[in-house]
A and B are shown apart, each in its own frame.
Chain A
Amino acid sequence: MTRSQILNDGGVAPDDPAGDTPTNQEPLAPALAVNVRLHVNGAQHAVHVSARVTLLDWLRDDLRLTGTKKGCNEGACGACTVLVNGRRMNSCLMLVAQCDGSEVTTIEGLAGPDGHLHPVQQAFIDCDAFQCGYCTPGQVLSAVACIQEGHTRSPEEVREWMSGNLCRCSAYPQITSAVLAAAEGKV
């Protein structure tokens, strides 16, 4: 048994043909509203919200917390990453209805009340870990969680565990440096 056989038998094609998004899909279910209580950046919200509303759209359109970005709306790019109960989540893949009783932290809630930047935010500035900045809120929150998870024992580990957040400007080496610097308390 060779490694290439394992790869082929495992059904993972080395040259995966492209997938696709169907059009004219089944209409979404009619709007059904639910009651949800949650905290966002420490503030309590009790809302009556349509069951189909994603956490991403609710944060952006209802709370006007536009620091959380929409990049792909299908969990592929990580631009919408927020912390839900301390864990990093793609907010486009979560419904508000799933967040009852949750603590949500967005990029707007990361700095201290006096505006003092979180060490990861400062590390991103110090290491020049962004260009256009569109993926940056998601990168920063993903990095906060990555450090808490302990996935920062080596540059390779950081690269692997930060790969859910795309940066098309490709500041990847600087992002890796920023995560390591923040993890080591060098900020």
Chain B
Amino acid sequence: MTAPTEGRAIGAPRPRIEGPLKVTGAARYSADNAPPDALHATLVGAPVCQGRIVDVDASAALAVEGVVRILTWHDLPTFGPVPPWQAAVLNLPMQSDRIQHEGEPVAIVLATDIQAAEQARTMVTVRCAPTPPVLPGQGRRNLITASEEVDESGLVEGERGAPFRIGDVDAALASSAVRVSETWIQPSRHHNFIETSGTVARWDGDLLTVWDSAQASFIVPNVIAAALQLDPGNIRVIAPHVGGGFGGKGWVWPHQILAAAAARIVDRPVKLHLGRADQYTSTGFQPLLDQFLELGATEDGRLTALRHQVSNITSMTEVYVEAATEVKDLYACPAIDVSQSVEPVTVNLPTPMRTTNEGCGLWPLESAMNELAHRLGVDPIEIRLRNHADREPTTGRAWSTKHLREAYEEGARLFGWYSRPRGGRSEGNWRIGTGMASSTMGQIRFPGNATVVLQRDGDVVVRVDIQDIGTGLQTLLAQVAAEELGTSVEAVRVEWGDSDLPSTGPMYAGSGTVANTSAVALACRDIRKQLGEHSDTDDVLDALRQTDLPQITGDGRYELPNRVPMDMYGGDSGYAIRSFGAVFAEVAVDPELGIMRMRRMVGVYDCGRVMNARTARSQMIGSLVWAWGKSALERSELDPTTARWMSKNLSSVHIPVNADISDLITIAFIDEPDPYASVTGARAMGEIGATGADAAIAEAVFDAIGVRFRELPITPKRILDALAEMGR
């Protein structure tokens, strides 16, 4: 590992530049905006999971003092078609009497104060002609085929869930010395960000201003404009701070369109800040996944076959594929056969959630690898080393950079892996166990734009329309500009979160760091290039002062190979681009009460160049805690008679609290730049920590009490039931 980059801007553990705003309450989130004369909006959701609206009676609600208007589908314009991969759902609500899922908006209450809006929404009576629900397990599983879907802007997602096959898996399995063949399940889970989604919309003539809670504000004008049939150039989106996204604010959801439409109808600004209960049906969730996975191996633990069949639930009207088979490039294996299917049920549409694809697929794959290691009596690290993929298995491409072996080694050292007691140990009422797994996340990239201004007084301004969702990106951009221009980080001011700034990509899948640090670096290099025409000094400020310019502006455009609008896993770079890691867990289980506790975790990651050691560490801690929630606590359950989410609140949906989380979380990085992933050598960091950790935790539980859990979460009841079944 490289030494800490002391004295350099990039890599240093700089405190977040927006920190003072956040600890003083000055950071403004969407719902903190209240244009004069704004109305508060609340949504009335469909009471049944599918069917038709017979009648919406708003007469009592309209009598509430402060209520100005109640809109139903009769009042709304017919929306234009919205672009896929930007709009989260294509079949927008409030366009007919059709009900697509429980909670789908069927009326919008507009009132002068939030109390009236909340009171009135409970008094709107919706009569329905319901159709019976279709629950998970009752729907038909539709196999995803290899067809490619292309939208107007050229975004391709055809590979998502398409079948893939090399070699003869049946023959390889038949002749394998060892075979693991099991089904793994993980429940539906919601993002449960603390800031519920919200949109404030204000019209000034034909110009629309939207204060929004979004992870990709650059697509908001496109979608609203398409729905309302406007010029997207007439829409300004202001979205500097977002109170958590985790994927749930990645695409444009119907409430964002409805807020703008309602504001136009009543000709007043509208604030729609979703209530907590609304959130469960207004944006997506990670769908229930059923994964059959089969490994064949030789006696010395070399993989001969991988079969992976994934099924997830989706809505009745649209297809969302949770591409868990995207883990097929983790290990060298001569025969691979993966396929996915979706099961339409009467729920709202799922969406990506930390960590989509690999976070889902590693749960069975890494669990199976641990079962294989146990079966063969081989150390879990050793079996992974024996199957290390020196090139990308499905294409044969070279990796851009890969340091997974070093991650295993460093993780084992930090954890004390080889001196751990095997088979667990006792400590008071507790059984203590340990486990490990690999982590991986393929790089997703978008192009980026940035402008950097160097002023004569030495100040530097970075301009980029990107959100702050808490990753620390804005601080990274100041660091990049400081290093590229040779100034101090303090001299750099970053302006972000406004569509008047240079448009750039989204803040999800870690793509924000790649696109934005690259674009800022290129903008700085543009400044140097321009100054080089005036002066041969290396000091940009001296060079600027030798001119009569008041300031100099550099433009940075980060393009992907072949100028595509998005690429995955290296695209046309000629290399496979993917991050890797190794995660270790020690858990304590009380076999009498079924309680499970995190004792300590270690994660070591190879994510390219570490841009800020402090924010990087926080990203990984957050990811590991996220994985703990998945492993031990979280599930969103559908009522088995009505198909509505049972717990639409934070009181009954268990997510990790401080007391759940050990202080003993150790994070380390293999800090090696990836010259093919980005201009700065950075790769994505936000997601990988939440991959594989569930399998490490489940292995630790097995080590502690001898029970293999293949369904998450591992709750006290499940632990007690399993132990009872074993007669203990």
Contact = CB atoms under 8 A, between A and B. Distances in A.
A and B associate? yes
Interface of A: 2-4, 7, 13-21, 23-25, 27-28, 30-31, 50, 52-53, 57, 60-61, 64-77, 79, 106-108, 110-111, 117, 121-122, 124-126, 128, 130-137, 140, 155, 158-160, 162-177
A73 B275 contact: yes
19 contacts: A15-B715, A19-B649, A24-B47, A28-B119, A61-B34, A72-B276, A111-B24, A132-B242, A132-B470, A134-B29, A134-B193, A134-B194, A134-B244, A159-B663, A163-B657, A163-B659, A166-B655, A170-B622, A172-B657
A16 B658 CA distance: 20
A108 B246 CA distance: 28
**Residue in A20, A53, A165 with the greatest tally of chain B CB atoms within 10 Å:** A20
A175 B22 contact: no
What 8 A-B pairs are tightest by C-beta distance, nearest first?
A67-B25, A134-B243, A15-B717, A131-B470, A132-B470, A133-B22, A170-B625, A18-B647
Given A77-B194, A166-B657, A128 B243 contact: no
A163 B122 contact: no
B621 A170 contact: yes
Nearest to A109: B25
B250 to A, nearest CB: 14
B424 to A, nearest CB: 20
B27 interface: yes
Given A66-B32, A166-B194, 12 more contacts: A3-B593, A19-B647, A24-B47, A25-B122, A27-B119, A28-B122, A53-B115, A72-B650, A74-B651, A128-B615, A131-B618, A168-B655
B1 interface: no
Q: Is the interface of A mostly helix, strand, loop or mixed?
A: loop
B243 A173 contact: no
A133 B470 contact: yes
B651 A50 contact: no
B195 interface: yes
B651 A171 contact: no
Nearest to A173: B663
B18 interface: yes
B625 to A, nearest CB: 3
B592 A70 contact: no
B664 to A, nearest CB: 9
A52 B192 CA distance: 27
A137 B118 CA distance: 25
Nearest to A65: B25
Contact of A18 (B113, B626, B652): B652
Interface residues on B, range: 35 or more
B653 interface: yes
B656 interface: yes
A18 B715 contact: no
A107 B621 contact: no
Contacts of B621: 170-174
A14 B716 contact: yes
Nearest to A110: B24
Contact of A125 (B19, B31, B47): B19
B25 A106 contact: yes
A130 B649 contact: no
Interface in B106-137: 113-115, 118-119, 122-123, 125
B618 to A, nearest CB: 5
B174 interface: no
B273 A70 contact: yes
Contacts of A13: 717
Given A170-B625, A170-B656, A125 B15 contact: yes
A170 B275 CA distance: 22
Contacts of B276: 71-74
B540 to A, nearest CB: 30
Contacts of A172: 621, 625, 656-658, 660-661
A30 B21 CA distance: 38
Given A125-B15, A125-B19, A173 B659 contact: no
A176 B273 CA distance: 30
B708 interface: no
Interface string B582-612: 0000000000111000000000000000000
Nearest to B193: A168
B614 A3 contact: no
B650 A2 contact: no
Contacts of A69: 29, 194-195, 243
B23 interface: yes
B476 to A, nearest CB: 13
Contacts of B47: 23-24
B593 A7 contact: yes
A57 B594 contact: no
Contacts of A140: 23
Contact of A23 (B122, B194, B468): B122
B23 A79 contact: no
B726 interface: no
Q: Which of B118, B122, B468, B659 has the most CB of A within 10 A?
A: B659
Given A31-B115, A53-B115, A69-B195, A107 B648 contact: no
Contacts of A169: 244, 470, 618, 622
A18 B657 contact: no
A67 B26 contact: yes
Nearest to B594: A14
Interface in B42-74: 45, 47, 60, 65
Contact of B241 (A2, A79, A132, A159): A132
Contacts of A67: 24-26
Contacts of B191: 168
A107 B27 CA distance: 11
A175 to B, nearest CB: 6
Contacts of B122: 23-25, 27-28
Contacts of B661: 159, 170, 172-173
Contacts of B649: 19-21, 72, 74, 76
Given A18-B652, A23-B122, A64-B34, A155 B716 contact: no
A149 B31 CA distance: 32
A125 B20 contact: yes
B471 interface: yes
B720 interface: yes
Given A27-B119, A71-B194, A126 B15 contact: yes
B717 A14 contact: yes
B592 A134 contact: no
Interface string B241-274: 1111110000000000000000000000000010
Identify the interface centre among A31, A107, A140, A173: most chain B CB within 10 Å of its CB: A173
Given A128-B614, A170-B625, A117 B20 contact: yes
Contacts of A16: 652
A26 to B, nearest CB: 8
Contacts of A66: 25, 28, 31-32
A20 B195 contact: no
B244 A18 contact: no
Nearest to B628: A170
Contacts of A76: 649-651
A163 B244 contact: no
B583 to A, nearest CB: 15
Contacts of A72: 276, 649-651
Contacts of A121: 23-24
A70 B25 contact: no
Contact of B663 (A2, A122, A134, A176): A176
B650 A4 contact: no
Contacts of B718: 15
Contacts of A4: 592-594, 720
B658 A162 contact: yes
Contacts of B622: 131, 169-171
B655 A18 contact: no
Interface string B560-595: 000000000000000000000000000000001110
B171 interface: no
A128 B32 CA distance: 24
B646 interface: yes
B648 to A, nearest CB: 5
